[in-house]
Amino acid sequence: MTRRRLFLSLLATASLLATGACAADPGYTVADFAKVKKFDSHVHVNVTDPAFVDQAKADGFELLSINVDYPEFPALADQAAVAHHFHNADPAHFHFATAFTMKGFTAPGWAEKTNAWLDSEFKQGAVAVKIWKNVGLIERDTDGKLIFIDDPRFDPVIAHIIAADKVLINHQGEPKNCWLPMDEMSTDNDRSYFKAHPEYYMYLHPEMPRYEALMATRDRFVARHPDLKFVGAHFASLEWSVDEAAKFLDAYPNANIELAARITQIQAQSVQDYDKVRNFFIKYQDRIMYGTDLTLNPGENPAEFKKVAHDYWLSDWTYLATGESQHVSDIHADAKGLALPKAVIDKIYYRNAVREYLN
């Protein structure tokens, strides 16, 4: 057993022992929101306007801004410049993850060029590397075949990330709703996204890989790299089932998951089985990180964004930290807050991210 596996195994044991003590914890309230140290481990700050950072400070958040090889975002070099700007100004509160281009993937020297780029970003403060869903759904090699994350041509880059002791953040596939007809999707926000982005709506593309195949590919990849610090973005694309997320975490002790843009799918489950969802968060309190996917891009209104961000953060806090109910329009239901104990909230909202990204 590697040291990392042993460490995470001990964490899991400690969490189980702490579960009984959690019952007596009165938990936080809505009024505690701005007072508690928090870490949003999945945002995209793509402009130098300070609105995002200012709102985060007002609401008690450190940020991890994730650069992404995404065509609707600025170029990677521009994203990096914004990240360097804010990190240099306040390295204690603004953190960032880098990303690499897939251009030239099949050409000789791609891995060496990629590792040189990563080293440059690590020197400037990057704490992690993001691989987006373009790997598995978009990028193809010179033979026209899709490139998957378990492709051995990635191995030199993954080995470099491990040697640098950095985290790999992976957005694998899409929510399971992506492969379903619109009327069978569990949330309105997924319906809205895939209506607006039919190119990513896999139900319309039967020639593309199925959901189950992409998850199996990801699992093979994580199994092949047990020493890699791995974070499954967006609840590791297992947002539809906390049971499946539990299986994933049990199988891969080097993996963690974060909540970005998947709270509504979790709320849909807790409406059906409140205790199961709450118990999942308590059992895996050391393996879950809070994140939102909040994004501020060029051309967007910074003042409007600040209100959106505050409301989003406060709504999630109400659901995770308190027992208050709120109406969730995306699932057409009232969702009772999980009222997670303070010790659990402190880990999910702060300590787990600091452990994985900053230590």
pLDDT for residue 18: 52
Residues spanned by the domain of 78 = 37-358
pLDDT digits (tens, 9 = 90+) for 171-218: 999 999 999 999 999 999 999 999 999 999 999 999 999 999 999 999
DSSP annotation string for 178-246: GGS-GGG-S-HHHHHHHHH-GGG-GGG-TTSPPHHHHHHHHHHHHHH-TTSEEEEHHHHT-TT-HHHHH
pTM beyond 0.75, yes or no: yes
pLDDT digits (tens, 9 = 90+) for 64-107: 999 999 999 999 999 999 999 999 999 999 999 999 999 999 99
295 bridge partner residues:
44
On whether residue 64 sits in a domain, the answer given is yes
Asked if residue 107 lies in contact with residue 148, where contact means CB atoms within 8 angstroms, the answer is: no
On whether residue 282 sits in a domain, the answer given is yes
On whether residue 142 sits in a domain, the answer given is yes
pLDDT digits (tens, 9 = 90+) for 230-255: 999 999 999 999 999 999 999 999 99
pLDDT digits (tens, 9 = 90+) for 284-302: 999 999 999 999 999 999 9
Q: Is the pLDDT reported for residue 225 higher than 90?
A: yes
On whether residue 8 sits in a domain, the answer given is no
When divided into structural domains, the chain yields a total of: 1
pLDDT for residue 15: 55
Asked if residue 228 lies in contact with residue 155, where contact means CB atoms within 8 angstroms, the answer is: no
pLDDT band per the 50, 70, 90 thresholds, residue 21? very low
DSSP annotation string for 130-161: EE-THHHHT-B-TTSPBP-TT-GGGHHHHHHH
pLDDT for residue 25: 76
On whether residue 162 sits in a domain, the answer given is yes
- Three-state DSSP at 263 gives helix
Q: Is the pLDDT reported for residue 6 higher than 90?
A: no
On whether residue 17 sits in a domain, the answer given is no
On whether residue 137 sits in a domain, the answer given is yes
pLDDT for residue 2: 56
Q: Is the pLDDT reported for residue 130 higher than 50?
A: yes
CATH of the domain at 214: 3.20.20.140
User: How far is 287 from 344, CA to CA, in rounded Å?
Assistant: 11
On whether residue 119 sits in a domain, the answer given is yes
Helix (H) and strand (E) counts in the chain: 15, 11
Asked if residue 306 lies in contact with residue 54, where contact means CB atoms within 8 angstroms, the answer is: yes
